[in-house]
Amino acid sequence: MDRFITLKIIDVLMKRLNIDLGERSYDILIGRNILPQVGEFISKRFEPSRSIIITHPSVRNLFGEKLEPGLVNAGYSPGIIEIPEGEISKSLQQAELVYDRMLEMNCDRKSTLIALGGGVVGDLTGFIAATYQRGIPFIQIPTTLLSQVDSSVGGKTAVNHPRGKNMIGAFHQPKLVVVDLDTLQTLPKNEFKAGLAEVIKYGIIADEKLFTFLENNTKEILSLNRDCLQYIIETSCAIKAKVVEKDERENRHRMILNFGHTFGHSIETLTNYTEYLHGEALAIGMIQAAWLSVETGECSEDVPIRITNLLKKFNLPVHSPNLKSEDVISSMYHDKKTTHNKLRFILVKNIGSVEIVDDVPELAVKAALNKNH
Ligand code: GLY
């Protein structure tokens, strides 16, 4: 938190956090009603030849009027490429359609893509920016809680392959991330709550104070109190920035961001991605990972119980769907995060502290799954 610099722009308070990655360093700007200033933020940082906004039609309807005039005033009259809503757009086919449009628009290597939307728009835009003419700049303007605290920061970009999510991708850092808290006011409630699961994850892996804040301010957060939102988003981004600075390409330490994800991905896969939002499956996955931590002697039962109680307060799912433990374990071996056929998990020691454990026995995983029915 001390890493933030407070800036005042036209009577609006904004926080700036720099993520230090050498020549790939960039700022994360967090504030209210800051979309109109994006053109100005860009011009202070680099010189694009032009800008192209990639977004969904509904997102453009909500936020285009705030964003586009400022870009025009700064001299970057934006081209607009609209893509269909939903995970279906995270595909090589959709990427190709966007490359076609960019070539028609004569985009060059200094053209800058602006991802305006949630995780799908951000991941696809980042992937296109990583590959168009061997890499061009892009900026992230995440408009969902999940993308504000997770996918817009850290440079993971990808599209899906029919045989697995995020299978085709690249590390490509954005030049800037702009989080306008006002975008959350129109976010559907279930998506907001699913995003909170990632915020809770940051509390578990790195910050007991954040976890306690979430326990004590549930009502205010659910009613979108702006000071609470500012605090939880800033804190989450600061934790993610620190982890990414230490291990940008996920050689090991960055894996702690995957706490609960191995269980969560199994639930998503075995329910064909139709029953749970990612954050909802993650909520159940974090409880299962915490029970696994009890099984392996990392922590006491208080930890999964405390996590379950917090998730319940936010009305997130806490019980596993009816899945066979053999199927869950088998799908874990197919997870992109599994290597050398060993089950590796992020286990919790205390709220605020985790460790990466390789080669966890299947029996312990089965026992943990049984505790969560
Ligand atoms: N979403 C996990 C990561 O960025 O590493």
Rg (CA), the chain: 20
Query: Active site residue: 172, 254, 280, 372, which one?
Result: 254
State pLDDT tens for residues 35-72: 999 999 999 999 999 999 999 999 999 999 999 999 99
Q: Which residues line ligand 1 (CB under 6 A)?
A: 150, 154, 156, 254, 257
Specify the pLDDT at position 11: 52
CB 16 within 8 A of CB 43: no
Specify the pLDDT at position 335: 76
State pLDDT tens for residues 76-113: 999 999 999 999 999 999 999 999 999 999 999 999 99
Candidates 357, 362, 348; CA nearest to 200 is 348
How far apart are the CA of 249 and the centre of ligand 1, in A? 10
Mean pLDDT confidence for 148-175: 96
How far apart are the CA of 6 and the centre of ligand 1, in A? 26
User: Could you tell me the two tokens for 114?
Assistant: 């602006």
Cα distance between residue 23 and residue 263, in whole Å: 36
Query: Active site residue: 15, 56, 90, 156, which one?
Result: 156
The pairing of strands 79-82 and 50-55 is parallel
Specify the pLDDT at position 334: 80
Q: Identify the residue whose C-alpha is closest to ligand 1 atom 2.
A: 257
Specify the pLDDT at position 341: 73
Distance (Å) of CA 55 to CA 82, 84, 95, 106, 115: 5, 9, 13, 19, 6
Q: What is the pTM of this model?
A: 0.95
How far apart are the CA of 149 and the centre of ligand 1, in A? 10
| Neighbouring residues of 369: CB distance < 8 A, sequence distance ≥ 6 | 288, 320, 325, 328
